[in-house]
Amino acid sequence: MTSSATKPRGARARAAIAAKTLRTDRWWLAPLATVIGLGAWITYATVRVFMHDYYWVEKYGYLTPFYSPCVTDRCLPEASHFGQYLPGWWIIPDAAFTLPFLLLFRLTCYYYRKAYYRSFWLSPPACAVPDGHASYGGETRFPLIVQNSHRYFFYFAVIISLINSWDVVLAFRSPDGFGFGLGNLILLGNVIMLWAYTISCHSCRHIIGGRLKHFSKHPVRYRAWGFVSWLNVRHMQLAWITLGTLALTDFYVMSVAAGWVSDLRFIN
Amino acid sequence: MGTKRQFRIWRGDADGGDLQDYTVEVNEGEVVLDVIHRLQATEAPDLACRWNCKAGKCGSCSMEINGMPKLGCMARMSTFEENETITVTPLRTFPVIRDLVTDVSFNYEKARETPAFAPPADLAPGDYRMQQVDVERSQEFRKCIECFLCQTVCHVIRDHDENKPAFSGPRYFIRAAELDMHPLDAKSDRKEYAQSEQGLGFCNITKCCTEVCPEHIKITDNGIIPMKERVVDRRYDPLVWLGSKIFRRGQVPQTFVTSEHSPGAVRSHAPSGGTHSHAGGSHDVKSETQAQQGVNWHREVPKPTAPAVDASGRLPLTELTFDRAAAPSPFGDDVTFPLPPEHLNFAHPEQDEKH
């Protein structure tokens, strides 16, 4: 065993394997699907945000989450639940107080980081497939060190989820008073999934109880941590589901507002 | 009956090598390591491969099978197509010794650098009491078998060898997390250590470590991300930063290490009082008291000699790099088993009755 033939020597080389990767499965499928999925969603969202139209159904009080809260002076007054503070230039999104924080919340999210580091930045594209870059500093320095601020965007996301929830409550109406239809179910489903995504955040899991050293001394926080951990396992699924529900909700509100379809009403 | 399967296995050493083709018989229920062994028994008796338990518990037979780091003993042949050529290579991240055997010293060096469990100052080893909910998180990381698949797959060092000095790797991030979450660990600067010395910031959480872990430890979600969040608590929280500037605190007060039990707790629960007052039988009051106490972790016992260390004053990483055969004992070489009774902290209440 201790023969000189097997002793490590001074110059130590890795095995000379020419192939960059020897993986034979379709490792490129997941990053490709991510690029297509995120690319399509970002395109749709960008178009909708700068459309400045079809975001409010006056008859039933539906407001799309992409315009909530509507704070520029080009907003319809009845759609501005929280007042108007900004000039109505087309370059300013009508929900300018919330969209940047939502974008940053998702940009710094631990799941989305995995998704775009792999698929857009190729660092690495898949496990045991080489990094597409010559050097690598990770999140040790600017700008990527800013990813550590995820927690603060989580706090903003909670406030924004409250605003979205309030929009859902306000939408339970019709010209005759109380009422609800398919649009309400879509808005409600969307906001429930948004809450699930927000609560399942890794930073939330840490704040709610993960940072504790003694769970036994904090039984309530331990239970809350257990619940958030259960959700947290599904963070990736929730991240994609909420992209879907956001786009669906927005598209439904746009369709009703533009008069392409009429809302299916259950009560009034 | 077996079928013939195609294999390409990397043969060579640090001076070079290449993939060589083999046709091997494979029987139902076999794993890749079985095939390696059949090759050794037939046409390639000099094929080098590290293995031990064949049960996925020793972490020795780590190799790359069709480009993915896996345990040879856990890679079932039934997961491959019959006409598929299976490529087996050594771990890419570490220097090769020969064929499928690599020098994984990097990991042992990082292990040695990672600060060990820091015992609480006010508790003797036998007096530790912990609740299950408090140790559960740490226990997940104790499942680690140190196969180093997570270390070899991590692109931070796999694709960028120059990061090796600054980066400890996923296995040691979960070691840091295990100790930082330990209810009795007294060291309070593990977060700072993980960030500044272990290179936690290099990790961009692409989760390959979790994907390859044969023990299914949630390395990223339960170890690395909680550690990153704990670092945020200390280093990137503007409120904490502002507070430390204003109040000139060097550090956030350490997490308070507590225990419900005083050092004497064991003794108070041990059989004592009048029931066993005759136990010792000797007239030495001191040993009589000790016998009544049963376990006494504070009793002075003879100290063994120091362990055999190498020129750097530490235990050698492997026996390959040491000047004597077999691995040295970290407890010193004069320890014999069973331990002589006077070396134990346990005194049986009735120990003297037989004499």
Nearest-Cα distance to chain A for B324, in Å, is 10
- Between CA A268 and CA A175 the distance in angstroms is 8
A8, A24, A114 member nearest B320 (Cβ): A8
| Percent of all residues in chain B with a pLDDT value above 90, rounded to a whole number | 60
Nearest-Cα distance to chain B for A13, in Å, is 5
Q: What is the pLDDT of residue B37?
A: 97
Cβ-contact B157, B101 below 8 angstroms: no
Structure-model confidence comparison of residues A31 and B244, the more confident one: A31
A8, A137, A202 member nearest B103 (Cβ): A8
| Residue recorded with tokens 């290449």 | B18
- Between CA B252 and CA B289 the distance in angstroms is 44
Q: Of B101, B126, B142, at which residue does a domain stop?
A: B101
Instruction: pLDDT band for B236, please (50, 70, 90 cuts).
Output: confident
Instruction: pLDDT band for A125, please (50, 70, 90 cuts).
Output: very high
- Between CA A48 and CA A40 the distance in angstroms is 12
Cβ-contact B63, B91 below 8 angstroms: yes
Range of the domain at B62: 3-101
| Residue recorded with tokens 């088993």 | B337
- Domain match, B67 and B175 both: no
Best of B155, B161, B167 to disrupt the A interface (most A CBs within 10 Å) is B155
Best of A9, A24, A133 to disrupt the B interface (most B CBs within 10 Å) is A24
Cβ-contact A63, A79 below 8 angstroms: yes
Does position B323 have pLDDT exceeding 70, yes or no? yes
Q: Which of A73-77, A188-192, B217-221, B273-277 has the lowest mean pLDDT?
A: B273-277
Cα B190 to Cα A177, B180, B331, distances in angstroms: 59, 6, 26
Cβ-contact A79, A56 below 8 angstroms: yes
- Domain match, B205 and B175 both: yes
Does position B312 have pLDDT exceeding 80, yes or no? no
Average pLDDT of A250-267?
A: 94
Does position A210 have pLDDT exceeding 70, yes or no? yes
Best of B63, B80, B83, B159 to disrupt the A interface (most A CBs within 10 Å) is B159
- Domain match, B233 and B355 both: no
B214 touches chain A (CB under 8 A): no
On whether residue B274 sits in a domain, the answer given is no
Phi, psi of B256 (to 5 degrees): -70, 120
Q: Which residues on A lie below 8 Å from B211 (Cβ)?
A: 127
- Domain match, B121 and B234 both: yes
Q: Flag if A127 and B211 touch (Cβ within 8 Å).
A: yes
Q: Of B101, B130, B154, at which residue does a domain stop?
A: B101
Query: What is the domain count for chain B?
Result: 3
Cβ-contact B109, B63 below 8 angstroms: no
Q: Which residues on A lie below 8 Å from B161 (Cβ)?
A: 14
Find which of A191-195, B263-267, B274-278 is predicted with most confidence, using mean pLDDT: A191-195
Q: What is the pLDDT of residue B347?
A: 66
- Domain match, B322 and B229 both: no
CATH number, position B167:
1.10.1060.10
Q: Which of A80-94, B141-155, B239-253 has the lowest mean pLDDT?
A: B239-253
Q: Flag if B208 and A232 touch (Cβ within 8 Å).
A: no
Cα B142 to Cα B146, B217, B303, distances in angstroms: 10, 9, 29
B10 touches chain A (CB under 8 A): yes
B27 touches chain A (CB under 8 A): no
Instruction: pLDDT band for B253, please (50, 70, 90 cuts).
Output: very low
B187 touches chain A (CB under 8 A): no
On whether residue B36 sits in a domain, the answer given is yes
Q: Which of A121-135, B153-167, B269-283 has the lowest mean pLDDT?
A: B269-283
Q: If DSSP codes are grouped into helix, strand and coil, which group holds residue A177?
A: strand
Asked, as a colleague might, if the bond just before A69 is cis with ω within 30 of 0, I would say yes
Q: Which residues on A lie below 8 Å from B89 (Cβ)?
A: 15, 17, 22
On whether residue B260 sits in a domain, the answer given is no
Q: What is the mean pLDDT of chain A?
A: 92
Cα B257 to Cα A235, B22, B115, B185, B186, distances in angstroms: 32, 58, 17, 7, 6
A127, A130, A138 member nearest B208 (Cβ): A127
Average pLDDT of B279-289?
A: 53
On whether residue B152 sits in a domain, the answer given is yes
Average pLDDT of B218-224?
A: 97
- Domain match, B226 and B211 both: yes
Does position B352 have pLDDT exceeding 60, yes or no? no
On whether residue B268 sits in a domain, the answer given is no
ipTM for the predicted complex comes to: 0.92
Exposure pattern of B59-79 as b/e (b: 16+ CB <10 Å)?
A: bbbbbbbbbbbbbbbbbebee
Best of A12, A34, A235 to disrupt the B interface (most B CBs within 10 Å) is A12
Does position B307 have pLDDT exceeding 80, yes or no? no
Q: What is the pLDDT of residue B257?
A: 34
A85: tokens are 């503070």
A108: tokens are 């710094």
DSSP state string for A79-134: G-TT---B---TTS-TTTTTHHHHHHHHHS-HHHHHHHHHHTS-SSSSTTS--SSS
Does position B244 have pLDDT exceeding 90, yes or no? no
B95, B133, B226 member nearest A206 (Cβ): B226
- Domain match, B46 and B158 both: no
- Domain match, B60 and B163 both: no
Q: Which of A105-109, B126-130, B284-288 has the lowest mean pLDDT?
A: B284-288
On whether residue B345 sits in a domain, the answer given is yes
- Domain match, B142 and B123 both: yes
Q: Which of A240-249, B76-85, B318-327 has the lowest mean pLDDT?
A: B318-327
Q: Which residues on B lie below 8 Å from A116 (Cβ)?
A: none
- Domain match, B214 and B168 both: yes
Nearest-Cα distance to chain A for B178, in Å, is 11
Asked, as a colleague might, if the bond just before B115 is cis with ω within 30 of 0, I would say no
Q: Which residues on A lie below 8 Å from B208 (Cβ)?
A: 124, 127-128
Give the list of residues 6+ apart from residue A49 with CB closer than 8 angstroms, or none. Answer: A66, A93, A94, A95, A99
A5, A13, A138 member nearest B95 (Cβ): A13
Q: What is the pLDDT of residue A7?
A: 46
On whether residue B294 sits in a domain, the answer given is yes
Q: Which residues on A lie below 8 Å from B187 (Cβ)?
A: none
Q: What is the pLDDT of residue B4?
A: 94
Average pLDDT of A148-160?
A: 94
B327: tokens are 């691995």
Query: Contacts for B250-258 with beta carbons within 8 Å, 24 or more apart?
Result: B251/B188, B251/B189, B254/B188, B254/B189, B255/A213, B255/B188, B257/A213, B257/B120, B257/B183, B257/B184, B257/B185, B257/B186, B258/A214, B258/A217
- Number of neighbours of residue B140 by Cβ within 10 angstroms: 19
| Residue recorded with tokens 């350490």 | B254
- Domain match, B342 and B286 both: yes
Cβ-contact B200, B224 below 8 angstroms: yes
Length of chain A: 268
Q: What is the pLDDT of residue B317?
A: 73
Does position A25 have pLDDT exceeding 90, yes or no? yes
B117 touches chain A (CB under 8 A): no
On whether residue B168 sits in a domain, the answer given is yes
- Domain match, B242 and B117 both: yes
What is the chain A residue with the closest CA to B180? Answer: A213
Average pLDDT of A137-155?
A: 90
